Amino acid sequence: MRFDIITCLPRLLDSPFSHSILKRAIDKGLTEVHVHDLRDYSPSKHRQTDDYPYGGGAGMVMMIEPIHRIISKLKEERPYDAVVYMTPDGLTLNQKMANSYSLLKNIIILCGHYKGVDERVREKYITHEVSIGDYVLSGGELAAAVFADAIIRLIPGVLSDETSALTDSFQDDLLSPPVYTRPAEFIGMKVPEVLLSGHEKNIELWRMEQALERTKSRRPDLYDKQHVAKPNIS
Ligand code: SAM
């Protein structure tokens, strides 16, 4: 799976893809992440990518021409399944969306800055608009990194068995159960007995109960979905 991320601040994306699971996924050839400096596609000699808003008001707006140039160039090189604009007024990212995006092959991600992009970019080039939550960041780079991370960890082979994404929160609309590691007792705090028992069935049952309990108390909205989804077997 290939990501082409368009930004006017490419250095902001150096770190997220240079460590841990995402780096290993890239090193193993399970994903490719290409970061493009939008300024390289500016027609102006000062590499300008933004300008004053028509109608006045605070903040700058990202111009259409550099974005047109880079997206057209990328599309000439290969087909894309999605051209995503990171934006606070997009569809709020959730696990199901990440699951669906993880099935795609080539994705362009456009990071906004300042007041955002000229609306004509959204009309002409953008196929999907994604928000990472109801708050406003300074730029789309951190949002793009969050979006790509949520997707890349779902690509088969990226996570080892022990950290399988299938047991993470939100798969099946459940939060994860609590986890423990050594020591079995620390300043009087003990690991639940069942996890030390070696009894696989009981451990599985305990984890399911804990996941349901945690979902019920922390995310009643998700817990209610469980009730709707589960057949009444009594
Ligand atoms: N004027 C815009 C608004 O109020 O919707 C906010 C622009 S914001 C300062 C600059 C850029 O950061 C946006 O174009 C977008 O790419 C990115 N951004 C900010 N918050 C985001 C969020 N919650 N999710 C995704 N991207 C976000």
Give residue-wise pLDDT tens across range 80-132: 999 999 999 999 999 999 999 999 999 999 999 999 999 999 999 999 999 99
Q: Which residue from 63, 87, 135 has its CB within 8 A of the most atoms of ligand 1, so it is best to mutate? A: 87
Residue 160: per-residue pLDDT: 82
**Claim to verify: residue 121 and residue 174 sit in the same structural domain:** no
pLDDT in tens, 45-87: 999 999 999 999 999 999 999 999 999 999 999 999 999 999 9
Confidence of residue 172 (pLDDT cuts 50, 70, 90): confident
pLDDT in tens, 17-38: 999 999 999 999 999 999 999 9
Residues 147, 120 contacting (CB under 8 angstroms):
no
pLDDT at 229 over 70: no
Percent of the chain with pLDDT over 70: 95
**Claim to verify: residue 19 and residue 103 sit in the same structural domain:** yes
Query: At 103, which CATH number?
Result: 3.40.1280.10
Residue 93: per-residue pLDDT: 98
**Claim to verify: residue 113 and residue 63 sit in the same structural domain:** yes
Residue 227: per-residue pLDDT: 63
Residue 166: per-residue pLDDT: 76
Q: 3-state secondary structure string, the chain?
A: CEEEEEECCHHHHCCCCCCHHHHHHHHCCCCEEEEEEHHHHCCCCCCCCEECCCCCCCCCEECHHHHHHHHHHHHHHCCCCEEEEEEEEEEECCHHHHHHHCCCCEEEEEECECCCECHHHHHHCCCEEEECCCCCCCECHHHHHHHHHHHHCCCCCCCCHHHCHHHCCCHHHCCCCCCCCCCCEECCEECCHHHHCCCHHHHHHHHHHHHHHHHHHHCHHHHHHHHHHCCCCC
Question: The domain containing residue 103 runs over which residues?
Answer: 2-152
For residue 60, report the distance from its CA to the centre of ligand 1, in Å. Answer: 13
**Claim to verify: residue 83 and residue 195 sit in the same structural domain:** no
**Claim to verify: residue 95 and residue 207 sit in the same structural domain:** no
Within-domain flag for 62: yes
For residue 135, report the distance from its CA to the centre of ligand 1, in Å. Answer: 8
Within-domain flag for 161: no
**Whole-number CA gyration radius for the chain:** 22
Within-domain flag for 228: no
Q: Which residue from 86, 113, 128, 132 has its CB within 8 A of the most atoms of ligand 1, so it is best to mutate? A: 86
Domain count, the chain: 2
Within-domain flag for 147: yes
The residue out of 152, 184, 211 marking a domain boundary is: 152
**Claim to verify: residue 102 and residue 18 sit in the same structural domain:** yes
Q: Is the CB of residue 60 below 6 angstroms from any atom belonging to ligand 1?
A: no
Within-domain flag for 184: yes
**Claim to verify: residue 131 and residue 80 sit in the same structural domain:** yes
For residue 119, report the distance from its CA to the centre of ligand 1, in Å. Answer: 13
**Claim to verify: residue 132 and residue 176 sit in the same structural domain:** no
Query: At 207, which CATH number?
Result: 1.10.1270.20
pLDDT at 214 over 90: yes
The residue out of 118, 152, 186 marking a domain boundary is: 152
Within-domain flag for 113: yes
Residue 64: per-residue pLDDT: 98
**Claim to verify: residue 211 and residue 178 sit in the same structural domain:** yes
Residue 169: per-residue pLDDT: 84
**Claim to verify: residue 104 and residue 196 sit in the same structural domain:** no
Least confident of 74-88, 150-164, 183-197: 150-164
pLDDT at 173 over 50: yes
**Claim to verify: residue 199 and residue 106 sit in the same structural domain:** no
For residue 138, give the ligand 1 atom closest to its CA: 9
Say what the pTM is. Answer: 0.94
pLDDT at 134 over 90: yes
Within-domain flag for 158: no
**Averaged pLDDT, 170-177:** 90
The residue out of 106, 121, 152 marking a domain boundary is: 152
Q: Is the CB of residue 192 below 6 angstroms from any atom belonging to ligand 1?
A: no
Residues 106, 78 contacting (CB under 8 angstroms):
yes
For residue 57, report the distance from its CA to the centre of ligand 1, in Å. Answer: 17
For residue 147, give the ligand 1 atom closest to its CA: 25
Within-domain flag for 40: yes
Residue 234: per-residue pLDDT: 39
Distance of CA 47 to the CA centre of its chain: 29
**Claim to verify: residue 27 and residue 75 sit in the same structural domain:** yes
Residue 125: per-residue pLDDT: 98
